[in-house]
Structure 1
Amino acid sequence: MEKKDLFIGVLLGLITSAIGSFLYITFFISSDFVEGFNSLQRQGSLNKIITLGALLNIVIVLLLFKKNKDQMAKGVILSLFILTIYTIFL
């Protein structure tokens, strides 16, 4: 059960980061999502947007720790490490 919870936490962290990035591009970029995404990718700023999107994971980790879902919280933190490595090489 522990490995399953860890995997669920990683997926939850990656999905939450994607949702956060989507929300940032949708609300703070003056064009639609696809055009804004492509524009940020051309500018080389996509890694910064992914990092901003990952801020939502702080809330998820705190909620999971509060509900004693430690393995899922560790999975979310692991997803942050994965995103960090991804944004370094992006």
Structure 2
Amino acid sequence: MNNNDNPIDPIDVQVGGDADPGGIAQTITSEDIQALLLSPDPVDTRLEALKQMRAELEARAAADRGEEFAPLIAEIDDAIAQLSGGEALG
């Protein structure tokens, strides 16, 4: 099978092994959010990136049985509020 034709790249790891991701494989971290918040990029660019991060987490929220996304979404909302002068997403 040619992986170039497959949009999903499976990870070949032993369940419970060192490379097995815990919980939901998290691609967005608190560090990513802080890096965007403090980036020298224009505010509009940073706001758009934060909103895209939030949308991705919301789209994956149905699979979030351990409430791993809620703190990240709250952190993104805080960052958006800081960048937009106190105007938070609601």
TM superposition score category, shorter chain reference: 0.3 to 0.5
Bigger-Rg structure (1/2): 2
TM-score between the two structures when normalised by the length of structure 1: 0.42
Select the structure that is richer in helix: 1
TM-score (norm 2): 0.42
